[in-house]
Structure 1
Amino acid sequence: MIDAITPLDATALAAHRDELAELLLAVVADGSSLGFLADLDHAGAAAWWDSLLPAVEDGSLALWVSRTGPDGRIDGTVSWYRESKPNGRHRAELRKLMVHPAARGRGTARALLAEAEEAAARAGVVLLFLDTETGSGAERVYRSAGWTEAGTIPDYATDPAGRLRPTTLFYKRPNQHR
């Protein structure tokens, strides 16, 4: 059971950067393809979270974390980036849905996804889209949450081990209930 899902503003992101870096390291070490390779270290993970600060601060990136358990540590995150071009302000890209390997199977990913979708609808986003490694656990989560497959691109990115993997594109209209 998830204790809390909360948005992070830039101040909270900076305050929790090291905890978020540890989450990212654990997820990548477990083999999740999030744009990083297996040699990711704490400094690199922390720097990546720091790179998000301007977008969180200006509101173009919305970010949530989940906390589960007695220690209240962050065990999951999801974000979406709102398109800034005039002809695309109605859409956002869902990014970096990740759940710590020790917290999987408890509904955390689904709860984070639902929160991001509901917030998108409240913000006037009418279309969410994403890409995820074909055949991954994340792909199963998106399918079960009602996302529609738009296609697959072969050899799109490498997994953390450096092997080329396909990606599946999905979209969802957040104002349409699951």
Structure 2
Amino acid sequence: MTAIDADIVVRRISTDEARERVAPLANALADVLIDCVKGGASVSFMLPLAREKALDFWHGVLQAAARKERVLLVAETTAGRILGTVQLITAQPDNQPHRADVAKMLVHRDARRRGLAAQLMAAVEQAARDEAKTVLVLDTVTGGDAERLYQRAGWQAVGSVPNFALMPDGAYCGTTFFHKQI
């Protein structure tokens, strides 16, 4: 558990919590996802993002966390409001037991510019160490704010693919791939 400021903590959702608190966690995480997509984040979803679709996504993530295929981290207030999240996908092919993917780094627009994303990245890197992962990979929109965040955190850009994905409004965007050896 890492404190960001007096009322925000970054913590790992335990496998038991992922199994037992599915509805409240999915609802809180859906709020963050919907807000990020409304704000223009290219995170696999298009506008308008129906709440049902967001809930289905988080139900799947929580099931994967309960099966220990993912590590789910959240940044939340002491009152229990989730403001941000990131995942470490640990389920990899047999020939890549040392690797994990970082996915769905999301921070609610109300909580940005407070260091939550940097704290979530530090926490996901620690989670990777805890899981004996030494190579991390992620991708992000080319030229976006997240690209600068990852570079500041010591991630190395591998390359970019133009027109790799769509923004929530349907416009094409490039994607830059990063790795970090930890």
TM-score strictly above 0.5: yes
Runs of at least 4 residues of structure 1 off by over 4 A? none
Answer yes or no: is 1:7 the counterpart of 2:5: no
Following TM superposition, by how much is the alpha carbon of 1:167 offset from its aligned partner in structure 2, in angstroms? 0.1
Once the two structures are overlaid, the 10-residue window that deviates more, 2-11 or 73-82, is 2-11
Q: Deviations over 1:13-60 (max 9, x none)?
A: 443111111110001100011000011111111111012233111101
SS in 2 for 1:65: strand
Task: Check whether the contact 2:92–2:100 (CA below 8 A) recurs between aligned residues.
Answer: no
Answer yes or no: is 1:125 the counterpart of 2:133: yes
In structure 2, the partner of 1:51 is 60
Answer yes or no: is 1:105 the counterpart of 2:110: no
In structure 2, the partner of 1:78 is 86
In structure 1, the partner of 2:169 is 161
**1:16-55 paired onto structure 2 within 5 Å:** 16-55=25-64
Following TM superposition, by how much is the alpha carbon of 1:107 offset from its aligned partner in structure 2, in angstroms? 0.3
Q: Deviations over 1:113-153 (max 9, x none)?
A: 00000110121101000000001111111111110000001
SS in 1 for 2:95: helix
Among candidates 103, 119, 142, match of residue 150 of structure 2: 142
In structure 1, the partner of 2:75 is 66
| Count of aligned residue pairs for this structure pair | 173
Kindly report the root-mean-square deviation, in angstroms, between the aligned alpha carbons of the 2 structures.
Answer: 1.4
Structure 1 unpaired stretches of 5+: none
Task: Check whether the contact 2:70–2:90 (CA below 8 A) recurs between aligned residues.
Answer: yes
Structure 2 unpaired stretches of 5+: none
Task: Check whether the contact 1:14–1:53 (CA below 8 A) recurs between aligned residues.
Answer: no
Distance of 2:91 and 2:27 partners within structure 1: 28
- Identity value in percent: 36
SS in 2 for 1:27: helix
Q: Deviations over 1:72-122 (max 9, x none)?
A: 310000001014311011100000011001100000000000000011012
Superposition TM-score, scaled by structure 1 size: 0.92
Distance of 2:74 and 2:63 partners within structure 1: 18
The aligned amino acid for 1:4 is V
In structure 2, the partner of 1:96 is 104
Following TM superposition, by how much is the alpha carbon of 1:7 offset from its aligned partner in structure 2, in angstroms? 1.1
The aligned amino acid for 1:150 is V
The aligned amino acid for 1:63 is L
